[in-house]
Amino acid sequence: MSAPITSFRPGGYVQNGNGISQNHTTGSTYIQGQAVLKPSGVYTPAGNGYYRNQNTGNVYNPTTGSYTQGGNMQVRPGGYTQIAPGIHTNSTTGTVYVPNVGVAKPSGVYRPMGNGYYQNPNTGNVYNPSTGAYFGR
């Protein structure tokens, strides 16, 4: 299986009332906690603010705008503790996180790719330390 491909979708959601938001740029409707209706299909909750299209397996986060094709999504446990200005550690995963610089994990170094996401250039795997989402092969 190839590495996941993460891209960031343009535009933002505008609240229409009753918990329904629309993204006029992408033609998507977002019902928080329930579903995202996109031209490519229906996305249902997958955890931590992410929604998965059951037909394609693709994952979308309407808050960050990230859209990931391929790969398996996992939500990594634990949280980060600041140990010095701008340096955070996660004792559960053995990870060091420096915002906008990189994430050092036992599996390698992840570099910023935008919108709070970091990618391992050797494996192509993608990680977001804020949401805990990890997209791997």
Instruction: Look at residue 83 and give its three-state secondary structure.
Output: strand
Cα–Cα distance for residue pair 12/126, rounded to 1 Å: 22
pLDDT digits (tens, 9 = 90+) for 55-101: 999 999 999 999 999 889 998 777 899 999 999 999 888 999 999 99
pLDDT in tens, 116-134: 999 999 999 999 999 999 9
pTM for this prediction: 0.86
Task: Give pLDDT tens digits for 10-65.
Answer: 778 999 878 899 998 889 999 999 999 999 999 999 999 999 999 999 999 999 99
Average pLDDT rounded to a whole number, residues 91-118: 94
β-strand partners of 136: 72
Q: Is 46 exposed, middle or buried (0-12, 13-18, 19+ CB in 10 A)?
A: middle
Q: How confident is the model at residue 1 (pLDDT cuts 50, 70, 90)?
A: low
Q: What pLDDT does 8 receive?
A: 93
CA distance 40 to 126: 22
Q: Are strands 5-8 and 14-17 parallel, antiparallel or unpaired?
A: unpaired
